[in-house]
Amino acid sequence: DIGGIGRKYHLKVVLEDVLDQDSTVNCTAEVLYHLGNKNVAPDVQFTLEGELKNTDEADNIFYSRIKSLEEELVAENIPDSHGNMPPEMKPIHLLAWVASGYVIWQNSTENTMFQLAQIKHVKQVKRSDEYLEFDYTILLHEMVTQEIIPWQMTVLWHPQHGVQVTQ
């Protein structure tokens, strides 16, 4: 507890690559939840002990594939009710997951625990520059209240420039 400011947590966590469970990286982090104004995201500082895997090849394959589509990508219910997801939708899902991580961070308090439950709808938005843009409607599941919260987010991505989220 930090008087007058908030509550700080010191964490030691192990990051696991979703696509390769044997690939892990240790991480130490400090999370400060602010007292008072609950509309401010918690402060996060972290240090990775090691390097994250290089994903250039997969990134570029995905980038080229989307760039070469004749029509803008549109999809619904990823995964579907039975948990199925066509393999070509996997990167779209991963992108949503990363972006939802940002949304979750911005909206977390000491009393929430969010997970991405499903992508309800995703639509690619045409851009004149080199970025890819997707409009997502996602469903977030909050563990304590058990609520399912729909959320609209616009996600920009580029293989070299990373992810940007505008809510």
Partner 1 sequence: DQVLHIVPETFQQVQHLQHLCSTLLLDLWKPLLPEDIGAGEEVHIRVPAPLVQEVKDSLDQHLISYKILIPDVQKLVDESMPRERSTQRQEQGGYIYTKYHPMEEIDQWMTQIQKNNSELVTQHYLGKTFENRAMYYLQISQPSNKAKKIIWMDCGIHAREWISPAFCQWFVKEILQNYKSDPKISRFLQNLDLYVLPVLNIDGYIYSWEKERLWRKNRSPYMNGTCYGTDLNRNFNSSWGSIGVSYNCSSEIFCGSAPESEPETRAVAHFIEQKKSDILCYLTIHSYGQYILTPYGSTTKPPSNSEELMNVAEKAAAALMGKYGTSYKVGPTSLILYNNSGSSRDWAHMIGIPFSYTFELRDKGTHGFVLPVDQIEPTCEETM
C-alpha–C-alpha distance, residues 151 and 167, integer Å: 8
Region from 35-43, 51-59, 144-152, 154-162 binding partner 1, contact rule CB under 8 A: 144-152
C-alpha–C-alpha distance, residues 101 and 30, integer Å: 17
What mask of x and - would describe binding to partner 1 in positions 23 to 62, judged by CB under 8 A? ----------------------------------------
Q: Is 145 in the site for partner 1 (CB under 8 A)?
A: yes
Number of residues that bind partner 1 (CB under 8 A): 22
Cβ proximity to partner 1: between 91 and 159 the closer is 91
Question: In the chain, at which residue ranges do the beta strands (DSSP E only) sit?
Answer: 6-17, 20-34, 43-49, 74-78, 114-125, 132-142, 148-158, 162-166
Q: Is 94 in the site for partner 1 (CB under 8 A)?
A: no
